[in-house]
Amino acid sequence: MSRIIVLGGTGYAGSAIVAEAAARGHEVTSFSRTLPEQQTPGVTYVQGDATDTTALARVVDGADAVVGALAPRGALAEDFRHVYASIARIADAAGVPLHVVGGYSSLRPAPGAPRFVTDLSHAPAEFHAELTTVSALVSDDLPATPESLDWVFVSPAGRFGAHAPGERLGRYRVGDDVALHPEDGGEISGADYAIGFVDLIEQAEHHRAHLNLAY
C-alpha cells in the first residue's frame, strides 16, 4: 500500500484515479478547493488551494506518489504552469514521483513529428489556451526540472473527458509520446484511464517520460 496524493482529486480524471487507487487499498488523499458532496469511502479529502505552496507542501509531506490532475481553467488558467512548477519543486524536495494527467494534443502523430498542439486548426478556438498550456508542461517545463525529479506525463486518448465518461472495460494500451490513435484520437473511459494510470504508479517502470493511454 502506498500513500497517494491526488491534486485535483475531485475532478473528472482525478476522481477516477482516486477511486481506482482507493479500491486497490492505497491510502489516498484528494486535494481541491471544494469538498465533493459524494466522497469515496476511505479517502481523505483535504480542502486547499494549489496556489498556496505551504498547503501543497503540507499535503505532499509523507506521500509515496503525487498525482497532478489539475486543469488550466477558471482561476488556474493563468497560474497553471506556475503551480506545477511549485508542485515539481515540492515533489523533488520530498523525493516523491510526480504523475501528471496530460492532454492528447501534446502527443505526436509519428516518432519525432511535431506535437498535435503545433497545429490547432482542428480544435475549437476556446480550447486553444488550455491545450497549449497543458502541452507546455511536457514540452518545456517538466524536462527542465532537475534530473532528481521523477515525473511521468500521461496523455489520454483524444475522446477522453467529462463529456465522454464511457464504461469500465478493464483494458487499455500504453504508448509513448506517439499517439496510439494518431488518425482519429481514439478513446478511453475515465475508469480505464484510471486503471492504466494507477498501474503506471505501482509499476514505476517509466521515469521522466511522456506516455499515452488509449484502447
Ligand X SMILES: NC(=O)c1ccc[n+]([C@@H]2O[C@H](COP(=O)([O-])OP(=O)(O)OC[C@H]3O[C@@H](n4cnc5c(N)ncnc54)[C@H](OP(=O)(O)O)[C@@H]3O)[C@@H](O)[C@H]2O)c1
Site residues for ligand X per CB under 6 A: 8-14, 31-34, 49-51, 69-71, 73, 75-76, 101, 103-104, 130, 134, 156, 158, 160-162
| Nearest CB to ligand X, comparing residues 1 and 165 | 165
Residue 51 Cβ, how far from ligand X at the closest point, in Å?
5
Sheet with 44-47, side-by-side order of all strands: 44-47, 27-32, 3-7, 65-68, 98-101, 151-156, 209-214, 173-175
| Nearest CB to ligand X, comparing residues 80 and 147 | 80
What torsion, rounded to 10 degrees, do the Cα atoms 56, 51, 48, 76 define? -130
**How far apart, in whole angstroms, are the C-alpha atoms of residue 14 and residue 32?**
10
Residue 193 Cβ, how far from ligand X at the closest point, in Å?
9
Residue 111 Cβ, how far from ligand X at the closest point, in Å?
20
- Is residue 215 within 8 Å of 37, Cβ to Cβ? no
| Nearest CB to ligand X, comparing residues 19 and 147 | 19
Residue 187 Cβ, how far from ligand X at the closest point, in Å?
9
Comparing every residue's Cβ against ligand X, the nearest one is 11
| Nearest CB to ligand X, comparing residues 113 and 164 | 164
Residue 204 Cβ, how far from ligand X at the closest point, in Å?
22
Q: What is the residue whose three cell numbers read 517509466? A: 206
Q: What is the residue whose three cell numbers read 480542502? A: 47
CA nearest to 89, candidates 119, 112, 68, 120: 68
Give me the DSSP letters along 125-189.
Answer: GGGHHHHHHHHHIIIIITTTS-TT--EEEEEEPSB-STT------S--EEE-SB-SSTTT--B--
Q: What is the residue whose three cell numbers read 513529428? A: 113
| Nearest CB to ligand X, comparing residues 137 and 149 | 137
Residue 201 Cβ, how far from ligand X at the closest point, in Å?
16
| Nearest CB to ligand X, comparing residues 86 and 148 | 86
